[in-house]
A and B are shown apart, each in its own frame.
Chain A
Amino acid sequence: MSAEAGVLAIFGELDATITAIERLRAEKIRGITVFAPVPRHELEHALHEPESPVRIFTLVGGLTGAATGFALATWTSVDWPLITGGKPIISLPPFVIIAFELTILFGALSTVAGLFINARLPRVRHEVVYDPSFSAGKFGVHVAAPAGRENDVKNILRESGAEEIRERPTEVRVGST
């Protein structure tokens, strides 16, 4: 992030953070990023976020797994048809077990893929807007590129109860040396 890195406010309280978000939104200020040590529904509601697309990944992964399980068991059985125990070559009841396990396996792995893709993880850049207190107990509101409204933003953040306000909060290192 360059010179227009924006303003970062650090809050000690949840309700103050929510007040700040609501007031910034009322002023039609965009580019709000909220940092929190814990997921809170109140923050989600205040931000009016769209639904996370991870659920599509889970569904598609699970369905792919089910299809793969049936296909694998059926194809390999037909490929070398050998009747055992007088059972049909394509015995659906045992194949359900394979399909079930692969539904779970593929569903879980694609959920993880969905998380990584949508949350932009793993993040390899170290120089980002952050403060280590966000993983302990502080909340943060970062407003990117206020475009000439820096003073409005700072006033809103201060009046809402920010403990600390930083301009150009760049180059806080996340992670290693």
Chain B
Amino acid sequence: MATVIRSETHPAIGSYEEVNHDILRLLSRPGRSYTILLAVTIALVITMFTAWGVQIVLGIGMSGLRNPIGWGVYITTFVFWVGIGHAGTLISAILYLFRARWRQSIYRAAEAMTVFAVMTAGLFPVIHVGRPWLAYYLIPYPNQRMIWPNFRSPLVWDVFAVGTYFTVSATFFFIGMIPDLAAARDSAVVPWRRRLYSILSLGWRGTNWEWKNFTRAYLYLAALATPLVLSVHSVVSWDFAMSLVPGWHSTVFAPYFVAGAIFSGLAMVLTLLIPIRKIYGLEAYFTPRHTEAMAKMMLLTAMIVSYAYACEAFVGWYTFEAAEQHGGYLLFGATGEYWWSTWLMVTCNFFVPQLLWFRSVRRSFAAMFVITLFVNIGMWFERYSIIVVSLSHEYSPWMWNQYRPSLTGMLIILGSFGWFLMWFLLFLRLLPAVSVAELKEVLPAPLRLYRRPRAVEETTRRPPVRGRGTEENR
């Protein structure tokens, strides 16, 4: 019998054809529970837009924002979702450059998460500005009065960074998917799917020259996305660090934010993929090796974030200035009126990840699922602590105030999770959720060496062959 050589990273996958079968079968009519879940997310999206509509009609006061707390849960959630996106690019681009061969089976889903997370994040500045119909003022465009944005302002940097990030990650996502869309096209049976994948796959055939240009383009896109992802959250952090607000004006912010972003993003990848693995039977594609690798990166970034907490607390204390000590979100946050937020952050982001030191925890899907839920919560409250605690206690004590998130704000945030999940659910059933072509790169190629010789079948003067799933299945 033929020798069977197994992949080191994905030993349970037998052949190239098996990959196509396992992955492309997801592109079919979904079941009842999927439909119900999708309906729930759509309901949440409707809730979000309704709450936003109420805020537009009645005014930005509905958000609970008032002086001096001009930034509240919207900017918190913006930073949260931008951060979530970072793990997707880490897995798809940075680990690609590092040739981490386990990434192949999960990077597509992580990359989709990036695109949808940035789409979600992009809503929040627009919601936050209060008059969304003037949001185009952010973009430099030639106008009659020749008024341009101030390029010395961090908020304009943010527009460029997040805009570029969305464009590049969406491009990278789509370009990487072209060969898989061709595979989906070739096995699609339902006419509308066949037509959809035909258009999206751009007539890809997998010729040597297509592959040559494709692999080079993919490499350069990865090389461009790598510095980009590190820059995006740095620029987001400079929205804070460039201002003279106690607790914000700190050089540690860029690495602190980037580490936090990767930390939270990896947590979100695991939160999404662990149930998907179970529901869709992708055990061969998402293994304890994956959770272990991601858990190690989470542990590293959790330690960086915790170090930044310690720095913040130390600097706040060491300046010996009332505003830094009160406004510095860690010192004051831990004892002041926002103590619950700060302690949630420290518990979820420092204490809970200590469990990741244990190999058995890192390789347990159930444990990782629970831990990543904690991390998701903790990272949202980290941003909440940074923004709200500092703004409540700036340098002028007569301007101190408290902030309570409003019902409108909370409904919009809840709805944003629905918005994100709605896109992700649609992605799961409409696009190949695991990269069919790239996974084959880490599988052993079928070789003649392994097989017994067999007869060659020659068919000459054959009538034109129609693709599988065209004529007979139409």
B partners with A: yes
Residues of A that sit less than 8 Å from B by CB: 12-16, 33-40, 42-44, 47, 49, 52, 54-55, 58, 62, 72-73, 76-77, 79-80, 84-85, 87, 91, 94-95, 97-98, 100-102, 104-105, 107-109, 111-112, 114-115, 118-126, 128, 130-137, 154, 158, 161-177
CB-based contact A80/B148 at 8 Å: yes
Binary interface profile of B, 222-244, with partner A (CB < 8 Å = 1, else 0)? 00110110010001000000000
Q: Is B214 an interface residue (CB 8 A)?
A: yes
9 residue pairs from A and B, CB less than 8 Å apart: A47-B208, A54-B216, A62-B224, A76-B140, A94-B157, A131-B467, A134-B205, A135-B183, A166-B465
User: What's the least CB distance linking B204 to chain A, in Å?
Assistant: 7
Q: Evaluate whether A101 and B164 lie within 8 angstroms (CB atoms) in the complex, with A111-B221, A166-B462, A177-B195 already known.
A: yes
CB-based contact A104/B227 at 8 Å: yes
Partner of A136, one of B178, B187, B199, B462: B187
User: What's the least CB distance linking A26 to chain B, in Å?
Assistant: 18
CA–CA, A103 and B124, complex, Å: 26
CB-based contact A36/B148 at 8 Å: no
CB-based contact B182/A162 at 8 Å: no
Q: Is B354 an interface residue (CB 8 A)?
A: no
Partner of B146, one of A12, A79, A105: A79
- Most B CB atoms within 10 A — which of A38, A62, A172, A177? A38
CB-based contact A37/B440 at 8 Å: yes
User: What's the least CB distance linking A110 to chain B, in Å?
Assistant: 10
Binary interface profile of B, 452-471, with partner A (CB < 8 Å = 1, else 0)? 00001111111011111110
Q: Evaluate whether A15 and B448 lie within 8 angstroms (CB atoms) in the complex, with A118-B213, A137-B20 already known.
A: yes
Q: Is B168 an interface residue (CB 8 A)?
A: yes
- Name B18's closest neighbour in chain A (CB-CB): A137
CB-based contact B465/A131 at 8 Å: yes
Q: Evaluate whether A177 and B191 lie within 8 angstroms (CB atoms) in the complex, with A34-B207, A94-B152, A136-B186 already known.
A: yes
Residues of B that sit less than 8 Å from A by CB: 15-17, 20, 140, 146-152, 156-157, 160-161, 163-164, 167-168, 171-172, 175, 178-179, 182-183, 185-187, 191, 194-195, 198-199, 201-217, 220-221, 224-225, 227-228, 231, 235, 436-438, 440-441, 445-449, 451, 456-462, 464-470, 474
CA–CA, A93 and B39, complex, Å: 48
CB-based contact A173/B470 at 8 Å: yes
CB-based contact A98/B151 at 8 Å: yes
With a cutoff of 8 Å between Cβ atoms, the chain B residues found around residue A12 in the complex are 446
CA–CA, A15 and B201, complex, Å: 28
Further pairs besides A77-B151, A137-B446: 16, Cβ < 8 Å: A15-B447, A36-B206, A38-B445, A42-B445, A44-B208, A47-B208, A49-B208, A49-B209, A104-B224, A111-B217, A114-B217, A165-B456, A172-B466, A173-B470, A175-B194, A177-B470
CA–CA, A94 and B150, complex, Å: 10
CB-based contact A101/B161 at 8 Å: yes
CA–CA, A120 and B178, complex, Å: 13
Partner of B206, one of A37, A80, A165: A37
CB-based contact B168/A39 at 8 Å: no
- Name B445's closest neighbour in chain A (CB-CB): A14
With a cutoff of 8 Å between Cβ atoms, the chain A residues found around residue B468 in the complex are 132-133
CB-based contact A108/B168 at 8 Å: yes
Interface of B is mostly: helix
Interface of A is mostly: mixed
CA–CA, A43 and B445, complex, Å: 12
User: What's the least CB distance linking B45 to chain A, in Å?
Assistant: 29
CA–CA, A104 and B175, complex, Å: 16
User: What's the least CB distance linking B253 to chain A, in Å?
Assistant: 15
With a cutoff of 8 Å between Cβ atoms, the chain A residues found around residue B178 in the complex are 121
Q: Which 8 A-B pairs have the closest CB atoms?
A: A123-B203, A137-B16, A175-B198, A122-B202, A76-B148, A132-B186, A38-B440, A176-B198
With a cutoff of 8 Å between Cβ atoms, the chain B residues found around residue A154 in the complex are 458
Partner of B449, one of A15, A162, A174: A15
CB-based contact A115/B213 at 8 Å: yes
- Name B474's closest neighbour in chain A (CB-CB): A177
With a cutoff of 8 Å between Cβ atoms, the chain A residues found around residue B20 in the complex are 135-137
CA–CA, A80 and B140, complex, Å: 14
- Name B449's closest neighbour in chain A (CB-CB): A15
CA–CA, A39 and B216, complex, Å: 11
With a cutoff of 8 Å between Cβ atoms, the chain A residues found around residue B150 in the complex are 84
CA–CA, A79 and B156, complex, Å: 18
CA–CA, A34 and B235, complex, Å: 45
CB-based contact B205/A128 at 8 Å: yes
CB-based contact B213/A40 at 8 Å: no
CB-based contact A134/B203 at 8 Å: no
CB-based contact A34/B208 at 8 Å: yes
CB-based contact B206/A135 at 8 Å: yes
CB-based contact B214/A119 at 8 Å: yes
- Name B20's closest neighbour in chain A (CB-CB): A136
With a cutoff of 8 Å between Cβ atoms, the chain B residues found around residue A136 in the complex are 16-17, 20, 183, 186-187
- Name B448's closest neighbour in chain A (CB-CB): A13
With a cutoff of 8 Å between Cβ atoms, the chain B residues found around residue A126 in the complex are 203
- Name B451's closest neighbour in chain A (CB-CB): A13
Q: Evaluate whether A84 and B203 lie within 8 angstroms (CB atoms) in the complex, with A16-B448, A52-B213 already known.
A: no
CA–CA, A126 and B457, complex, Å: 27
CB-based contact B157/A98 at 8 Å: yes
